[in-house]
């Protein structure tokens, strides 16, 4: 199940706490060196210690938490700008805190938020400058430099880890999208485009003499009747059940596709006898399927098997398999056929891999419905 998206304020909250706490260190050292007033220390305590929790409270109680949290982020930048003149433009902490405020806006992923934060930051710098009489002492002492180190190290690593997490999430989402673009969402089999690429590869190996190529067309018998009588939900169960049987039987011998509606196709890199054995196993296992939503329902499939000759195109190969499938339907469905001759005229098969009768190349196997 897809997890719900985390509210913005929950994402920002830990970074706000971290950023404010780390910023308090250099600001506090600068204020101590300036022998700042109690009012400045009170402002430091409010902004660095109380504001993160007040911002969370505002967003939680808001009717529009997303909008309120964006306002909180703009207020963050205003506070950051205010500290620059209150520290008399002490160079290193002023640059770090202003940069930290911008990075936090970028880290949210909200387009253009950092730009919208600049007017508030610049306005706070101007207001603070008026309050301090434009005091200017840019020299940074060694204690202040040391107090700035946690911002440089801890906050940078935290933001980088969050960026890495987002990149990984996007990577996995892209993989998922790629998988969805290549598969049928209902059955999980290849979609038509993906399957045709695989089928062309199988044909190419046949053309160069590197292996056999056999195509199996599979059609669910009387599927429309089942859909109409039992409903589309049960019809979907049937499609998923048949798809599972196909996956189980082809293994690593080829690729399966839901070609359209109730029709499937298998491109196999096996010879015709092996393909007929796989087809018969599929036919038999589909007869044995049962469905929780429709306990009495039994379904069958008709299968057409066609071996590719050297130089055969995919279109001709599919026409041959379709011809075999029509033979199977003409025979009464629930059987396997090849395109060479009508099933009624095919010779009997001799070999079998199990207790059920198995088709021989060139013969269809009619059987009773499950």
For residue 179, the tally of other CB atoms under 10 A from its CB is 10
pLDDT of residue 362: 37
Model pLDDT for residues 275-314, shown as the tens digit of each residue: 999 999 999 999 999 998 888 899 999 999 999 988 889 9
Contact in structure between 303 and 340 (CB atoms under 8 Å): no
**What gap in Å lies between CA 18 and CA 226, rounded to an integer?**
61
Q: How confident is the model at residue 242 (pLDDT cuts 50, 70, 90)?
A: very high
pLDDT of residue 2: 44
Question: Look-up: residue for tokens 């998922």?
Answer: 176
Mean pLDDT of 151-159: 82
Instruction: Indicate whether 323 pLDDT > 60.
Output: yes
pLDDT of residue 56: 95
Instruction: Indicate whether 360 pLDDT > 50.
Output: no
pLDDT of residue 5: 63
Contact in structure between 268 and 275 (CB atoms under 8 Å): yes
DSSP state of 264: E
**What gap in Å lies between CA 316 and CA 309, rounded to an integer?**
10
Which CA distances in Å does 187 have to 181, 196, 214, 298, 329? 13, 17, 22, 19, 24
User: 12 by DSSP, 3-state: which?
Assistant: helix
pLDDT of residue 180: 57
Helix axes 192-207, 314-330, angle to 10 degrees: 110
Q: How confident is the model at residue 166 (pLDDT cuts 50, 70, 90)?
A: low
Model pLDDT for residues 76-93, shown as the tens digit of each residue: 999 999 999 999 999 999
Instruction: Indicate whether 172 pLDDT > 60.
Output: yes
């Amino acid at each position: 199940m897809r997890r719900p998206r985390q509210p913005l304020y929950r994402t920002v909250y830990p970074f706000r706490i971290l950023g404010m706490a780390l910023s308090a260190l250099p600001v506090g050292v600068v204020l101590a060196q300036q022998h700042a007033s109690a009012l400045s220390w009170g402002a430091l305590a409010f902004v660095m210690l109380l504001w993160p929790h007040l911002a969370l409270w505002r967003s939680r109680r808001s009717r529009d938490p997303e909008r309120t949290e964006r306002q909180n982020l703009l207020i963050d930048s205003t506070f950051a700008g205010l500290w620059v003149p209150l520290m008399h433009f002490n160079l290193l902490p002023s640059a770090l805190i202003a940069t930290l405020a911008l990075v936090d806006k970028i880290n949210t992923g909200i387009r253009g938020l950092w730009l919208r934060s600049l007017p508030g930051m610049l306005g706070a710098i101007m207001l603070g400058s008026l309050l301090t009489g434009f005091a200017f002492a840019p020299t940074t002492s060694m204690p202040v430099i040391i107090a700035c180190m946690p911002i440089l190290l801890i906050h940078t690593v935290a933001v980088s880890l969050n960026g890495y997490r987002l990149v990984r999430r996007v990577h996995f989402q892209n993989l998922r999208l790629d998988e969805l673009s290549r598969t049928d969402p209902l059955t999980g089999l290849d979609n038509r485009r993906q399957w045709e690429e695989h089928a062309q590869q199988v044909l190419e190996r046949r053309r160069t003499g590197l292996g056999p190529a056999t195509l199996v067309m599979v059609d669910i018998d009387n599927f429309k009747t089942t859909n109409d009588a039992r409903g589309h939900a049960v019809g979907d169960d049937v499609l998923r059940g048949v798809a599972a049987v196909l996956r189980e039987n082809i293994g690593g011998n080829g690729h399966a596709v839901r070609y359209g509606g109730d029709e499937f196709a298998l491109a196999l890199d096996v010879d015709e006898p092996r393909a007929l054995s796989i087809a018969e196993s599929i036919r038999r296992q589909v007869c044995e399927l049962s469905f929780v939503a429709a306990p009495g329902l039994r379904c069958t499939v008709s299968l057409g098997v066609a071996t590719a000759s050297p130089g055969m195109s995919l279109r001709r190969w599919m026409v041959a398999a379709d011809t075999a499938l029509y033979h199977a339907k003409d025979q009464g469905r629930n059987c396997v056929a090849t395109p060479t001759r009508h099933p009624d005229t095919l010779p009997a098969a001799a070999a079998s891999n199990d207790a059920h009768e198995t088709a021989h190349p060139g013969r269809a196997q009619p059987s009773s419905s499950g």
